[in-house]
Homo-oligomer: A and B are copies of this chain.
Amino acid sequence: MKIELSGVFAPITTPFIDEALASDQLKKNMQVYKQTALSGYFALGSNGENKSLDDSEKMKILEVIVQEKEKKQLVMAGGGYESTIRTIAFCRKLADAGADLVSVLTPCYFKKAMTDEALIGYYTDVADALSIPVVVYNAPGFTGMEISPKALGTISQHPNIIGMKDSSPYKYSRYLEVCDTNFQLLSGSISALFPALTLGAVGGVAALANAFPRMCCQLFEKFKTGDLTEARRLHFMLSRMNNAVSGRFGVAGLKFALDVAGLYGGIPRRPLLPLKKEEIKLIREDIDASNILDLESNGI
């Protein structure tokens, strides 16, 4: 049975206290998320500070998310490493721990060597070796490279590769052009969700859904029910908020927005720096001006 990715997924942030993983805070956040319309979770993604964690921390985080989620919600877990052998080994652990599917970032250290042929080989090897489905993770802002539409066209035909989380700012149209119609594209941010949906994407992973899950789900819902005017209004409102929070201040900004929203955000692991006072002031002003806290708590 193919997994259906429709809707909004939250790329869960990782709570730390004094740089140590704070599982209890993660559990508390999950109690909020499970009551929303979120389709599921992206565990161990970029906003989860994947690269700042060791493997035992990663497994602990996945365990909490799998335990605490609503039954019908899906868990997609980040399993990419730089070599095929390491990626397969780690993704198998994720599958054993209850992930429904894995998101596999494009290897990027040897970026000049990541030709279409190398990437097709990589994703084929990984998908062949796993018992759970694979979602390609394209994130040029972090990796400094991107998968070509041509390579994706080939990769999308693999029976165990069911979709792509696309965090490139705009290539959804080019990617959708070349993929099998049953290949499921997820936009990688709330800012791209609405335009991607109008072109055929099935949903999105939205950092902002960590802080404002109901509003993000509302945008998706309005689109699905054909209320394009309201969906577009929400698009611009959430896109501005996303720029003000994640766009300007990355993980530290996002975590602060969780704090403001009554969830546990905390600060990121070093070398990421916590927000400065004046940055906090800027985000607070933007959040207040948007009225998003009221909208979110009132179920919109």
Does residue A279 face the partner (Cβ distance < 8 Å to B)? no
Copies of this chain, whole number: 4
Name A105's closest neighbour in chain B (CB-CB). B109
Name A119's closest neighbour in chain B (CB-CB). B271
Chain A, interface size category, equals: 35 or more
Name A112's closest neighbour in chain B (CB-CB). B250
CA distance A79 to B5 in the complex (A): 38
Name A125's closest neighbour in chain B (CB-CB). B270
Does residue A83 face the partner (Cβ distance < 8 Å to B)? yes
Question: Given contacts A82-B52, A195-B198, A199-B235, are A113 and B273 in contact (CB under 8 A)?
Answer: yes
Instruction: With both chains docked as a complex, state the minimum distance between the C-beta of A165 and any C-beta of chain B, in angstroms.
Output: 16
- Determine the chain B residues whose CB is within 8 A of the CB of A169 once the complex forms: 170
| Contact yes or no, A122 B271, CB < 8 A | yes
- Determine the chain B residues whose CB is within 8 A of the CB of A108 once the complex forms: 144
CA distance A73 to B256 in the complex (A): 49
Question: Given contacts A83-B51, A176-B236, A236-B177, are A111 and B142 in contact (CB under 8 A)?
Answer: yes
Does residue A255 face the partner (Cβ distance < 8 Å to B)? no
Does residue A95 face the partner (Cβ distance < 8 Å to B)? no
List A74-125 residues whose CB lies under 8 Å from chain B.
81-86, 107-115, 117-119, 121-122, 125
Query: What are some 14 contacts across the A-B interface (CB < 8 A)?
Result: A51-B82, A83-B269, A108-B144, A112-B250, A113-B250, A113-B252, A114-B271, A118-B273, A170-B171, A173-B236, A174-B191, A177-B236, A177-B243, A198-B198
